Amino acid sequence: MLRFLAFVSAVMVGAAVFAVGDRHPTLSAATPAMAEPFWRCPPGYTFETSGSAVHCKKPAWTQTKAVMPCMNPTPDLKTDLVNLTDMCSGGIGIAVTAEPLCPPLDVADGFTKRHVAGRDFCGKFHPAEIIPPNLPISF
């Protein structure tokens, strides 16, 4: 009987030591911690991820402007008169044609004439832009 009481005492002491030693620190939502900053993209850019990397991307696009209007002696615009090229036409007695061009200031700014089905236009290509997220998000 003495052995049985010693065994029960030893089991109870062991259980008590195990219960005290098994405690894990608990965290609550109110525990202060260093907050990691979060960032977003400026307007016109989309947020993209690649693995653990992030970036903001603005797709490539083409800015368009109208060609110069037709004037005398060729006041009438003929769409796609020469294959895809628009031409100004007119004249008295003899047909005269001239290709409408981009305004000189637009040409100096990088615009070029684009021959397309339908009305031609002056266009300037803008390549895709990739930048890091740079607008902080505050909660």
Q: Is the pLDDT of residue 37 over 60?
A: yes
Q: In this structure, is the dihedral angle defined by the CA atoms of residues 39, 41, 43 and 46, taken in order, positive or negative?
A: negative
Range of the domain at 75: 62-125
pLDDT value, residue 7: 55
75 occurs within a structural domain: yes
- The pTM of this model reads 0.60
18 occurs within a structural domain: no
80 occurs within a structural domain: yes
pLDDT value, residue 16: 56
29 occurs within a structural domain: no
134 occurs within a structural domain: no
pLDDT digits (tens, 9 = 90+) for 40-90: 999 999 999 989 899 999 999 999 999 999 998 889 999 999 889 999 999
Contact in structure between 55 and 134 (CB atoms under 8 Å)? no
How far from 117 is each of 46, 80, 84, 109, CA to CA, in Å?
32, 7, 6, 24
36 occurs within a structural domain: no
* Alpha carbon 24 to chain centroid, angstroms: 45
Distance CA 130, CA 48 (A): 10
